[in-house]
Chains A and B, each alone.
Chain A
Amino acid sequence: MKNRQFIVAGVCFALALLVPVIIQDDYTLQILFRVFLFAALGLAWNLVGGYAGQLSLGHAAYFGVGAYGLALFSKIGINPWISVILGVVLSVISATLIGAVSFRLRGPYFALCTIAFAEVLRLVTKNLPNVTGGDVGTQVPLLFAQASIRSFYISSVVLTVLAFAVTAWIERSKFGYYLMAIREDQDTALSVGINTARYKLWSLLISAAITAIGGALYASLFLFIVPDQVLPMEISTEIAIVAMLGGAGTLFGPIIGSVVLEIAAEIFKNIFKEAHLLIYGALIVVVVLFLPEGIIGSMANKLRLFKKAPAAAFAVPPPVSAEDEGQRAALSE
């Protein structure tokens, strides 16, 4: 069963790599680049938000550090690819700092704290024109010899495969089970001897590294970045929504979420013009109200319902399960 899933995934990724052979249109490729970029970012977020249950809303910080890392390190004469790596290192360092402070908090405070860090970073970047170019922006070197969208598209697919492989490995490892235990009940996890602080931090570091590579790719495509483009809260929420839409804590969720959300967003932009944000907001509300477990989670629930005896379908579900309430109470402490 599991192996069949991986074969399907492998075939899909191979097909994705072949897409540029068929589609030559720059516009379509750019949308597909976004799809895979956000799939990778969603997968990265999923490690922290989905498996460990630490719902971060500050991933723009790592995204932006990756983007600015590439821009600033190559500005002082370092090879672009080495700059990407330095950007990743920088992002991991900042994730260590952010994690050290924010992981001590729970529930909404954690989310608010991650927002605050990302916002501080954005404002500092804006206000240091000597270093970062401030609001005027800064140039980003091209990562590929040919300035074609095709290389960017392929690298975004590769990044997604990387993120997917890391997630698949973590999901099956002891580390992954530790994270899921932390998500279900942090205090119990702690009491059975899991070093929650350490594993939460590890998941964040891996997540930040992947996110930073994504940020560097994104920046290099545009050749020019400003703080409000790579560090805003919108990036953080989009990453989180991609994962939540597909299904947080599942292997395929973020990929499906990204395909649905990015393509839908693009279609909305073309159909509704100025009203696309309105439709986008409505989409979020609908997801939260009707698909709280994401597309994958809801589908799995439906399947389970079919497999069980029909009596289950008639049973009135309790409005709020005790378990949920307990979790909420624990989170809001």
Chain B
Amino acid sequence: MGMALIFGVMRIVNFTHGAFLMLGMYATYVLFQTTGLNPYIGFIPAGLILFVIGYITYMALLRPIRGQVDFMVILLTMGLALIIIDSVQLIFGADYHQINIPLLSKNIRIGSQISLNAPWLVSFAIALILAIALYFLVTHTMFGRAARAIAQNPYPAPLMGINVNRVQALSFGIGSAAAGIAGGLLLPVFYLFPEVGNQFELKSFVMVVLGGMGSIQGAAIAGLVLGVIESLTSLYWGNEWALAVDFVIFILVLSLKPNGIFGSQRA
């Protein structure tokens, strides 16, 4: 979802997203270990921390190379991701971690066939609320309007009194915060290691393109569609094919319907 904002709305190909997600997970993890803070509250400070990190990253590293070829941004964010992942590995080690909270073992049964794991459900609910909030932020506020204006055409935006750097830095910060929050929400249901973000990162690119550039709701629906396709692939062909199918979908969408399923023609 944060990727939808950074890549879709800002047009920044951000390869640090996975690393930010991982940082969010570690931040929540450290809070849980030191203060016993429940991850369902801990994701809030994690998001705030990541917002600051994202804001600083944009101001210090991405702003100077604005206007250069996108490839430079790709290289820069890849380098940054390497730095972050390796630092975390040096500090926390490469071990897998997992946390244990009472909620983890609870299951909710619907009918006799379907059983839902409670933490997944809670995480999903919070993510949904945040997604809706983000959607309104982008579509219904001055800030969102400014961000979209810059995405459409960066030249007249400052003429209309938009502080381009500020809006871009804020968007990047919010996008990063979304990654951090996602990390915090994933912590109860996922194991944790320094390279955990990579698998989500490429998936989020697929999601954004599938949903249509610049469309938050598109990315959300694409996320669901992708999840269903992945589960079906895992069921019939085995888990290891799921990611390959993702990429095939990605290539197909790019070549057949570059605007995405829900993308607007203007974008």
Q: Which residues of A contact B (CB under 8 A)?
A: 55, 57, 101, 104-105, 107-109, 111-113, 115-117, 119-120, 123-124, 126-127, 237, 240-241, 244, 274-275, 277-278, 280-285, 287-289, 292, 319-321, 324-325, 327-329, 331-332
Best-surrounded residue of B65, B79, B154, B206 (most CB of chain A within 10 A): B79
Contact of A120 among B86, B248, B255 (CB under 8 A): B248
Whether A108 contacts B65 in the complex (CB less than 8 A), given A116-B250, A278-B86, A284-B82, comes out as no
The residues of A that contact B11 with a CB separation of less than 8 Å are 108, 332
A-B residue pairs in contact (CB < 8 Å), sample of 9? A108-B70, A109-B258, A112-B13, A112-B209, A116-B254, A288-B75, A289-B65, A324-B68, A332-B70
Closest 4 CB pairs of A and B: A284-B79, A281-B82, A320-B67, A123-B244
The residues of B that contact A282 with a CB separation of less than 8 Å are 79, 83
- The answer to whether B251 touches A117, judged by C-beta atoms less than 8 angstroms apart, is yes
- The answer to whether A278 touches B79, judged by C-beta atoms less than 8 angstroms apart, is no
The residues of A that contact B70 with a CB separation of less than 8 Å are 107-108, 111, 328, 331-332
Q: How far is the CB of A172 from chain B (nearest CB, A)?
A: 25
Give Cα distance in the complex from A285 to B209, angstroms. 26
Whether A289 contacts B85 in the complex (CB less than 8 A), given A116-B251, A275-B90, A332-B70, comes out as no
Chain A: CB-nearest residue to B238: A127
Contact of A289 among B71, B76, B89 (CB under 8 A): B76
Instruction: Kindly identify, within residues 152 to 207 of chain B, every residue whose CB is under 8 Å from any CB belonging to chain A.
Output: 153-155, 202, 205-206
Q: How far is the CB of A79 from chain B (nearest CB, A)?
A: 32
Asked if B81 is an interface residue, CB under 8 A from chain A, the answer is yes
Q: How far is the CB of B68 from chain A (nearest CB, A)?
A: 6
The residues of A that contact B124 with a CB separation of less than 8 Å are none
Whether A111 contacts B241 in the complex (CB less than 8 A), given A277-B82, A332-B11, comes out as no
Give Cα distance in the complex from A272 to B6, angstroms. 33
The residues of A that contact B74 with a CB separation of less than 8 Å are 55, 57, 108, 111
Give Cα distance in the complex from A274 to B90, angstroms. 7
- The answer to whether A289 touches B243, judged by C-beta atoms less than 8 angstroms apart, is no
Contact of B255 among A101, A115, A277, A288 (CB under 8 A): A101
Q: Which residues of B contact A (CB under 8 A)?
A: 11, 13, 61, 64-76, 78-83, 85-87, 89-90, 153-155, 202, 205-206, 209, 238, 240-241, 243-244, 247-248, 250-251, 254-255, 258
Q: How far is the CB of A269 from chain B (nearest CB, A)?
A: 13
- The answer to whether A281 touches B75, judged by C-beta atoms less than 8 angstroms apart, is no
Give Cα distance in the complex from A124 to B85, angstroms. 27
The residues of A that contact B154 with a CB separation of less than 8 Å are 325, 329
- The answer to whether A325 touches B67, judged by C-beta atoms less than 8 angstroms apart, is yes
Q: How far is the CB of A32 from chain B (nearest CB, A)?
A: 25
Give Cα distance in the complex from A278 to B78, angstroms. 11
Whether A331 contacts B205 in the complex (CB less than 8 A), given A281-B83, A288-B79, comes out as no
The residues of A that contact B238 with a CB separation of less than 8 Å are 127
Chain A: CB-nearest residue to B242: A123
Chain A: CB-nearest residue to B75: A288
Give Cα distance in the complex from A288 to B70, angstroms. 11
Best-surrounded residue of A126, A274, A285, A331 (most CB of chain B within 10 A): A285
The residues of B that contact A108 with a CB separation of less than 8 Å are 11, 13, 70-71, 73-74
Q: How far is the CB of A99 from chain B (nearest CB, A)?
A: 12
- The answer to whether B75 touches A120, judged by C-beta atoms less than 8 angstroms apart, is no
- The answer to whether B65 touches A104, judged by C-beta atoms less than 8 angstroms apart, is no
Give Cα distance in the complex from A126 to B243, angstroms. 12
- The answer to whether B86 touches A277, judged by C-beta atoms less than 8 angstroms apart, is yes
The residues of A that contact B73 with a CB separation of less than 8 Å are 108
Give Cα distance in the complex from A324 to B65, angstroms. 11
The residues of B that contact A320 with a CB separation of less than 8 Å are 66-67
Whether A127 contacts B241 in the complex (CB less than 8 A), given A278-B90, A289-B64, comes out as yes
- The answer to whether B83 touches A285, judged by C-beta atoms less than 8 angstroms apart, is yes
- The answer to whether A105 touches B244, judged by C-beta atoms less than 8 angstroms apart, is no
The residues of B that contact A288 with a CB separation of less than 8 Å are 65, 72, 75-76, 79
Chain B: CB-nearest residue to A120: B247
- The answer to whether B248 touches A119, judged by C-beta atoms less than 8 angstroms apart, is no
Whether A119 contacts B241 in the complex (CB less than 8 A), given A285-B83, A325-B154, comes out as no
